[in-house]
Amino acid sequence: MAQHIIILGPQASGKGTQAEMLAHELNHRHISMGEKLREEVASGSKLGQMMKAHMDNGELVPDDLTNKMILRELERSPNGAILDGFPRTIAQAKFLDDHIEIAHVIALTISDKTAVERIGGRRECPKGHNYHTKYNPPKKPGFCDTDGLPLRQRSDDTPATIMKRLALYHEQTEPLIAHYKSKVISINGEPSIPEVHLAVLKALHHRKR
């Protein structure tokens, strides 16, 4: 049976990178909600058009649309998926509970100070591949390794906005941690990317015994 894993972590916790590495290690599919939303909208599909209408109005994409997309992505993940950016709310977690078994929930933790420090170096390509000038640099500075597209800094990556997002994350995530209880594995996200990856693997290995 597919072993699905959720990865939680505030922005700048290295969540996307860790999800990608773990997916590769376990031969799982990395389902990044942000990336899938962008792909769906760019594809011009009916679902994408409905999503875009909400985004253009500055609204959140409603759960019935994101849920539909997540189910489809899970069906394409027979070995299991690493869910990144979903669920964000208890309602979404309950929806998942009705459809799949979650094996583990990895929660990456970093201090607010570290989050703000890391933000300055974050870069992403238009397709959503993430880099960091210091911690995860692309081979060719300024360009994506995967598709060669130019990397950019998000305009809302300022200390004030990151603090606001962190507060929102704490508010939304703590209920999820309570929801998944004993499935939650808390990992210190402060060390280097390879060290955190190793800690995640060790913790998963320990759980399976």
Residues marked active site are found at: 15, 88, 122, 154, 165
57-66: which pairs have CB atoms within 8 A and are 24 or more residues apart? Answer: 61/37, 63/89, 63/91, 63/92, 63/95, 66/33, 66/37, 66/92
Kindly indicate which of the ranges 101-109, 139-147, 172-180, 196-204 contains the residues binding Zn ion, using the contact rule CB under 5 A. Answer: 139-147
Provide the minimum distance between the beta carbon of 127 and Zn ion in the complex, in angstroms, as a whole number: 4
Kindly indicate which of the ranges 1-9, 25-33, 58-66, 140-148 contains the residues binding Zn ion, using the contact rule CB under 5 A. Answer: 140-148
Kindly indicate which of the ranges 32-40, 98-106, 118-126, 201-209 contains the residues binding Zn ion, using the contact rule CB under 5 A. Answer: 118-126
Q: What are φ and ψ of residue 59, in 5° steps?
A: -100, 160
Provide the minimum distance between the beta carbon of 145 and Zn ion in the complex, in angstroms, as a whole number: 7
- Tell me which of 21, 33, 100, 144 binds Zn ion, using CB under 5 A: 144
The reply on whether position 122 binds Zn ion by CB under 5 A is no
The reply on whether position 42 binds Zn ion by CB under 5 A is no
* Adjacency order of strands within the sheet including 81-84: 29-32, 81-84, 4-8, 102-109, 184-188
The reply on whether position 147 binds Zn ion by CB under 5 A is yes
Number of shown-chain residues binding Zn ion (CB under 5 A): 6
User: Going residue by residue from 78 to 117, which x/- string records binding to Zn ion, judged by CB under 5 A?
Assistant: ----------------------------------------
Asked if residue 3 lies in contact with residue 28, where contact means CB atoms within 8 angstroms, the answer is yes
Instruction: Identify each DSSP E strand in the chain by its residue range.
Output: 4-8, 29-32, 81-84, 102-109, 122-124, 130-132, 184-188
Residue 124 has which token pair? 């992403």
Q: Which is nearest to 104 in space by CA: 8, 195, 12, 1? A: 8
- Tell me which of 54, 72, 94, 127 binds Zn ion, using CB under 5 A: 127
Rounded CA-CA distance 74/25 in Å is: 18
Rounded CA-CA distance 29/3 in Å is: 11
Kindly indicate which of the ranges 73-81, 114-122, 147-155, 169-177 contains the residues binding Zn ion, using the contact rule CB under 5 A. Answer: 147-155
The reply on whether position 129 binds Zn ion by CB under 5 A is yes
Provide the minimum distance between the beta carbon of 43 and Zn ion in the complex, in angstroms, as a whole number: 17
DSSP state of 136: B
Contacts to Zn ion by CB under 5 A = 125, 127, 129, 144, 146-147
